[in-house]
């Protein structure tokens, strides 16, 4: 089915570091959606309409946030990076995707694992009550290469101030030593137990569900590790603990 496009306008562009940015797009008319779903954004070129899917980093509203990294050799993201406030951008009218809390079982603890811009859907979820009503404990794990990739830090501190011990935000930084962060990869931090000890939670089938989003290598590696703990993908027909969103 042909995508229906809404002509949006960039309301704000926040640059976190070179090539890493959040655009807020004023695009009234997007149909109501659930946090965690994605929209297409893009633009008309002389030869084609160029668009890609992006998780929405804010709950439904008239202005929507997208957390994006420029892929230097990519087709769309260098063009998105070049846009500024007031510029036009197309947004699909209808969101899709099953990476949502309504597709995720309830448990004592929810682990929200992200690499890079895979943080986006969790920012949207954390701004809504549903997450906090469904789960007693929320552990957000953000894997990045450098400290400058750790976006949304102030917002995460505010969430911590609001929810206290119910919420843990754990940065995992692979190419630098950063105070307060685990050094290395998410997989290593699961294997050596440092993730569980920082979160003060067990990562097990009996108490946890895990959402994971971002780089496909991280998803595959974490899924294999959790499989060994008896944690498998959740399906309606066969309940499990893992809900996964691949970015490429
Ligand atoms: C459901 C879904 C949601 C997505 N949400 C986001 C989002 O919120 N933010 C976001 O930045 N991207 C997101 N993506 C990826 C996005 O759709 C594009 O693939 C990405 O922006 C690259 O587009 P491009 O045209 O510049 O590169 P292309 O010319 O399409 O090249 C694609 C290549 O870029 C690399 N790549 C793609 N995405 C990323 C990434 N996020 N980080 C590093 N390398 C990447 C991969 O090597 C991929 O093969 C999402 C993808 C899917 C499927």
Distance 25 CA to ligand 1 centre (A): 18
What span, in angstroms and rounded, lies between the C-alpha atoms of 76 and 86? 18
Least Cα distance to 33 among 53, 9, 58, 51 occurs for: 58
Task: Tell whether ligand 1 has an atom less than 6 A from the beta carbon of residue 68.
Answer: yes
pLDDT at 54 over 90: yes
Of 38, 54, 243, 246, best ligand 1 pocket probe by most atoms within 8 Å of the beta carbon: 54
pTM of the model: 0.98
What's the distance, CA 241 to chain centroid? 18
Q: Which is the closest atom of ligand 1 to the Cα of 78?
A: 26
* Average pLDDT rounded to a whole number, residues 69-85: 98
* Average pLDDT rounded to a whole number, residues 43-68: 98
What integer pLDDT is reported at residue 209 of this predicted model?
98
Place of tokens 């000890």: 197
What span, in angstroms and rounded, lies between the C-alpha atoms of 157 and 122? 14
Render pLDDT for 177-219 as a digit per residue (tens, 0 to 9).
999 999 999 999 999 999 999 999 999 999 999 999 999 999 9
Question: Residues near 20 by Cβ (< 8 Å), separated by ≥ 6?
Answer: 68, 69, 70, 117, 148, 149, 151
C-alpha dist (Å) from residue 46 to 108, 163, 229? 52, 50, 52
Domains of the chain: residue spans and CATH: 5-92 (2.40.30.10), 101-246 (3.40.50.80)
| Assigned token pair, 22 | 């959040």
What's the distance, CA 108 to chain centroid? 21
What integer pLDDT is reported at residue 1 of this predicted model?
78
Nearest CA to ligand 1 atom 48: 248
Q: What rounded mean pLDDT belongs to the chain?
A: 97
What span, in angstroms and rounded, lies between the C-alpha atoms of 179 and 176? 10
What span, in angstroms and rounded, lies between the C-alpha atoms of 147 and 171? 9
Q: Within 10 Å of residue 147's Cβ, how many Cβ atoms? A: 17
């Amino acid at each position: 089915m042909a995508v229906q496009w809404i002509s949006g306008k960039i309301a704000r562009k926040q640059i976190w570091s070179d090539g890493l940015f959040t655009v807020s797009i004023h695009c009234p008319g997007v149909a109501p959606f659930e946090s965690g779903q994605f929209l297409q954004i893009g633009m008309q070129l002389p030869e084609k309409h160029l668009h890609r899917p992006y998780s929405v980093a804010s709950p439904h509203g008239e202005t929507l946030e997208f957390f994006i990294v420029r892929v230097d050799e990519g087709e769309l993201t260098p063009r998105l990076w070049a846009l500024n406030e007031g510029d036009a951008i197309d947004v699909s009218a209808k969101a899709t995707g099953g990476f949502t809390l309504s597709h995720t079982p309830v448990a004592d603890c929810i682990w929200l694992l992200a690499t890079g811009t895979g943080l986006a859907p969790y920012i949207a979820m954390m701004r809504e009550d549903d997450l906090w009503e469904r789960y007693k404990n929320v552990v957000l794990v953000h894997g990045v290469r450098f400290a400058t990739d750790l976006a949304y830090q102030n917002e995460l501190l505010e969430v911590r101030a609001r929810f206290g011990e119910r919420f843990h935000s754990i940065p995992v930084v692979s190419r630098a030593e950063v105070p307060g962060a685990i050094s290395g990869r998410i997989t290593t931090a699961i294997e050596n137990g440092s993730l569980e000890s920082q979160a003060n939670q067990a990562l097990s089938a009996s108490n946890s569900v895990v959402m994971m989003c971002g780089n496909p290598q991280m998803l595959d590696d974490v899924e294999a590790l959790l499989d060994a703990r008896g944690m498998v993908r959740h399906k309606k027909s066969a309940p499990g603990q893992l809900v996964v969103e691949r970015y490429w």
